[in-house]
Structure 1
Amino acid sequence: MQIEQLEIFTEVVRLGSFAAVAEKRQLNATSISRSIQALETELGVKLLQRSTRKLDLTEAGETYYQQILPILDHLDQAKYKALDIKQELKGTLRVTLPLGFAEAQVVPLIPEFRRDHPELKLELLITDECLDLVQEKIDMGVRIGKVSEENWVARPLKTLRFVACASPLFLQKHPFPEPGALEQLPCLNFIAKAEAKQWRFHHRRSGKTETIWINQVLLATHEQAAKSLCLAGEGIALLPDWLVQEELQNKRLLEVFPEHDVLYLQAGNQIWCTYPNREYVPAKTRAFLDFLQERLGNKKAGKTPA
């Protein structure tokens, strides 16, 4: 049994097909199939149930998969420790980031990080889906709001400020309202966020807090679409400040409730850097975490522990 066979097996489970693994490894699908067959022959059990449409783990395959994951993880950690002795960042760093934040805040910084670490290959998994860091073999992730996953270390990166905004055209028709008016005025929102139906308003001077069930007239799956609709005068949207910074500066959008702090109810306003809870954090992960902290976050947070 070879380590490569185990790695191929876990990749097939994770990616769901021989073809996907073959493409990733720049091999043909037949080679991947033969590797799995050789592993099954050596073990004397069937690991995968193959059909024309998909691959499923057998009961034995599921047990075997769960047992070898921590073993492969320990081998990776041993490799990282050995590489870090050389004090050179090499290999591949896999990072998952939410789409809007990645495009607006992180991707523009990547060339600078690459200049500092030219030997390090970056894989940016930009998606709003909450990927499992361990099963997907991801080194670190950026999360907005609450981090509920177990066995992850969550390090605060920065506080997120939301802005309730609208276009000048919209506000000509609906002059700056009080928060309660949002129960009737058209609002733009997100399909996937149940908490997005309620916006919480905190008046900075009086300290008064109120929660409003907004009038959702247009729903989108992503904040960029809500921003575009907001610019078109279709309603009021509650968006991250980094997404609308330029539009607020050039007055294409106006802040509707400048005396209030506004949040989605129970959504949280913290941006986190997360990574698997392991005994040893590889130097490549520490370097990227510290880089993001220096460029985007709270300076007082300090360096990532080894």
Structure 2
Amino acid sequence: MVSLDRFDTFKAVVEAGSLTAAADLLGQTRAVVSFTIKRLEAELGVTLLTRNTRRLALTEAGERFYLRCLSMLEAAQLAIDEARSEHTELKGTLRITTTVEYALAKVVPALELFRTLHPELNVHLSTSSTHADLISERFDVALRLGRILDSSHRAVQLSTFEILPVASPAFVKSQPAIDSVQALEQTPWLEHGRVGELSVTGVSSGAVQSYQPDPGKARIKADNSSVLRAFALTGQGVAILPDWLVEDDLQAGRLVRLLPGWHFTRQGVYALYPDTRHLPLKVRVFIDFMKSQG
């Protein structure tokens, strides 16, 4: 019988796109991965991959076998998870990816409790301002904020949070009065690379307006909320940031909340995971735990 370990190696090579990349993901040498694929092809009696100097490509038999591999590996993992769940212990490794600032503010404190509940489960937390590819980089779950654009993945909303327009007291004093949405749109601002057009709602009136800042007044653009917070603290402009990121700055007076009579559309926190037939137990348990944390 062909070993499931060889199935997993084959899957890693297909999704990583090369023997070298797959070896890095699996923590093996390229030679071991190459030997495993050759053994698999010999045992099956078919060629699964064609190789040239630039890349690997699936043969027709390889494409069919890859789809079967996915189903078999998912079924095997489900069987393992269900067997382990009878003893209420999770084992193995849970690979999570999210942003640096959300990890520090929310995920790290939550994992402290999660690890005490499941001490046999190892956690690998990766942080980045860019969105990782869950499939090729072999992540179990991604925690993402704001709008979800990944149609190829399943998504579960864990919670919501408020975003606030903030600036340093010195910057506010240097500007004309920022007493309306229109005035805020004309104020020099700090742009987040993944935040698009927003809507704001009056707290007392219920009136809804769109917020479209003047593109010519964007002083700085960044893809990291912590970086924008740093620029806001030094008086570079207005930044729209998560409430959980700036609450200490607001209490200490380092930042000022602008237009407190208006609320921007609340943003969501989502858990994304690959669209597989069976959701691994460790992912389901982690998602349920994060939902319970609010």
TM-score under structure 1 length normalisation: 0.82
Q: Is the 8 Å Cα contact of residues 16 and 22 (structure 2) preserved in structure 1?
A: yes
Q: Residue 303 of structure 1 corresponds to which residue in structure 2?
A: none
SS at match of 2:111: helix
Whole-angstrom distance in 2 between the partners of 1:120 and 1:23: 22
- 2:16 counterpart residue number: 15
Aligned counterparts, 1:202-281, within 5 A: 202-215=201-214, 216-263=218-265, 269-276=267-274, 281=279
Match of 2:284 in 1: 286
Find the counterpart in structure 1 of residue 82 from structure 2.
Answer: 81
- What's the % identity of the aligned pairs? 30
One-letter amino acid matched to 1:32:
V
CA distance in 1, matches of 2:50, 2:251: 56
Shift of 1:63: 4.6
Aligned: 1:187 with 2:189: yes
Cα distance in 1 for residues equivalent to 2:74 and 2:46: 24
CA contact (8 A) 1:188 1:235 kept: yes
Distance 1:129 1:14 in 2: 19
Give the corresponding residue for 1:302: none
Residue range with higher mean Cα deviation, 147-156 or 2-11: 147-156
Shift in Å at residue 168 of structure 1? 0.8
**Cα distance between partner residues in 2 of 1:167 and 1:199:** 22
1:210 is matched by which residue type in structure 2? Q
> Contact 2:177 / 2:183 at 8 angstroms: preserved in 1?
no
Letter in 2 for 1:78: A
SS at match of 1:219: strand
Residue matched to 1:201 = 200
**What do residues 134-170 of structure 1 show as CA deviations (whole Å, max 9, x unaligned)?**
6655433323234455575543321120000001110
RMSD, matched Cα: 2.7
Name the CA shift for 1:46/1:289 in 2 (closer, same or farther; >3 Å): closer
The alpha-carbon deviation at position 28 of structure 1 amounts to 2.5
After the TM superposition, which of the residue ranges 97-106 and 157-166 deviates more from structure 2? Answer: 97-106
Matched, 1:55 2:44: no
Across the two proteins, how many residue pairs are aligned to each other? 287
Residues 1:273 and 1:138: Cα distance change in structure 2 (over 3 Å): same
**In 1, Cα distance between equivalents of 2:199 and 2:11:** 44
- Alpha-carbon contact 2:74-2:278 (below 8 Å) kept: no
After superposing the two structures, state which structure 1 stretch, 199-208 or 65-74, moved more: 65-74
- Other-structure match for 2:71: 70
Structure 2 residue aligned with 1:6: 7
Q: Give me the whole-angstrom Cα distance separating, in 1, the residues matched to 2:152 and 2:75.
A: 15
CA distances 1:179-221 after superposition (whole Å, capped 9, x unpaired): 2123432111123x3x52x332211111222223213221112
The more displaced of 253-262 and 111-120 is: 111-120
Rounded to whole Å, the distance in 1 between the matches of 2:84 and 2:209 is: 54
Task: Verify: 1:97 aligned to 2:98, yes or no.
Answer: yes
Tell whether the 8 Å contact from 2:142 to 2:272 is kept in structure 1 after alignment: yes
Q: Per the alignment, do residues 133 and 21 of structure 1 end up closer, same or farther by CA in structure 2, a change over 3 Å counting? A: closer
- Mapped partners of 2:155, 2:223: distance in 1: 26
What is the SS of the residue equivalent to 1:210?
strand
Unaligned runs of 5+ in 2: none
Tell me by how many angstroms 1:110 deviates: 2.0
8 Å CA contact 2:167–2:235 kept in 1: the answer is yes
Question: Which sections of structure 1, spanning at least 5 residues, go unmatched?
Answer: 298-306
TM-score, scaled to structure 2: 0.85
Question: In the alignment, is the contact (CA less than 8 A) between 1:199 and 1:214 conserved in 2?
Answer: no
Please state how far the C-alpha of 1:26 moved relative to its aligned partner: 4.1
Write the mapping of 1:122-133 to structure 2, written as runs, cut at 5 A. 122-131=123-132, 133=134
